[in-house]
Amino acid sequence: MKVHNVEMIMSAVRPEQYPEEGYPEFALAGRSNVGKSSFINRMIARKSLARTSSKPGKTQTLNFYKIEEQLFFVDVPGYGYAKVSKTEREAWGHMIQEYLTTREELRAVIQIIDVRHPPTADDRLMYDFLVHYEIPAIIIATKADKIPRGKVNKHLKIVREGLNIRKGDPLILFSSEKATGMEEAWKEIEKRM
Ligand code: GTP
Ligand code: MG
């Protein structure tokens, strides 16, 4: 998809605040600071529409980006950030769980993994949650620009086996820096719209 028209629609923490257009939605999931917002920016070819930061915990609410009057990307706060209180973590859990388990417009979760490292316990929990609720996933192994080309397959295998990826869920090598994997990612999204 060639993207010309993007609107940041709104931030939501409760279902009454979700947008009402009824377009298909694709929600980002991943560790804090893994590159979720950067993924959105790359996909829509905008430098910094989705706020990114070298410090974890930048995204705090569900942020809906309307793309070409056709779909929404939903930027979601990251998990696994140690410096949040128990209360905050519970509020986060509730907000995400409510969205993921009740939202009819949700077509797939785009789970972002750092290709340099094996999936963390939190990554596995997240993916197991999607499997449990039968939510389709697109797995994006990002920061590909940070590993040598010759090691890509080895790293992808570790991600695939670490998450125990279901049949039908694609695993895509990606780099927000270099735009690696962008077309493949769009293809998998468009298939699910
Ligand atoms: P939270 O909103 O805190 O959960 O973080 P996030 O997952 O949205 O991460 P964000 O997109 O803000 O990126 C975190 C940092 O990683 C930033 O410094 C980005 O520039 C960097 N980054 C993201 N993707 C890539 C990539 O593909 N390659 C490289 N080299 N750096 C990346
Ligand atoms: Mg973010």
Q: Hey, what are 191's tokens?
A: 């298939």
Q: Which atom of ligand 1 is nearest to the CA of 178?
A: 27
For ligand 2, a single-atom ion, which residues have Cβ within 5 Å? 36-37, 58-59
Task: Report the CATH number that the domain containing residue 26 is assigned in CATH.
Answer: 3.40.50.300
pLDDT in tens, 48-66: 566 666 666 666 789 999 9
**What is the span of the domain harbouring residue 95?**
6-191
Residue 111 lies in a domain: yes
Q: Is residue 62 part of a domain?
A: yes
pLDDT score, position 59 = 62
Residue 104 lies in a domain: yes
Q: Provide, rounded to the nearest whole percent, the portion of the chain with pLDDT above 70.
A: 91
In contact, 41 and 50? CB cutoff 8 Å: yes
Q: Which region among 37-46, 66-75, 173-182 has the lowest average model confidence (pLDDT)?
A: 37-46
Residue 1 maps to a domain: no
Residue 99: inside a domain: yes
Q: Are 111 and 128 in contact (CB under 8 A)?
A: no
Per the CB < 8 A criterion, the answer to whether 136 and 108 are in contact is yes
User: Which atom, in ligand 1's list, is nearest to the CA of 180?
Assistant: 27
Closest CA to 103 of 191, 20, 8: 20
- Tokens representing 66 are 């309307």
Per-residue pLDDT, 15: 94
Average the pLDDT over 169-185 and give the result. 97
ipTM of the complex: 0.98
Give 119-163 pLDDT, tens digit per residue: 999 999 999 999 999 999 999 999 999 999 999 999 999 999 999
pLDDT band at 7 (very low <50, low <70, confident <90, very high): confident
Nearest CA to ligand 1 atom 22: 35
Pairwise CA distance, residues 161 & 119, whole Å? 9
Residues with CB under 6 A from ligand 1: 30, 32-38, 52-54, 56-59, 77-78, 142-143, 145-146, 175-177
For residue 1, pLDDT over 70 is answered with yes
How many domains, the chain?
1
126 belongs to a structural domain:
yes
Centre of ligand 2 to C-alpha 54, Å, is 10
Task: With a cut of 90, say whether residue 82 has pLDDT above it.
Answer: no
174 belongs to a structural domain: yes
* 123: in domain: yes
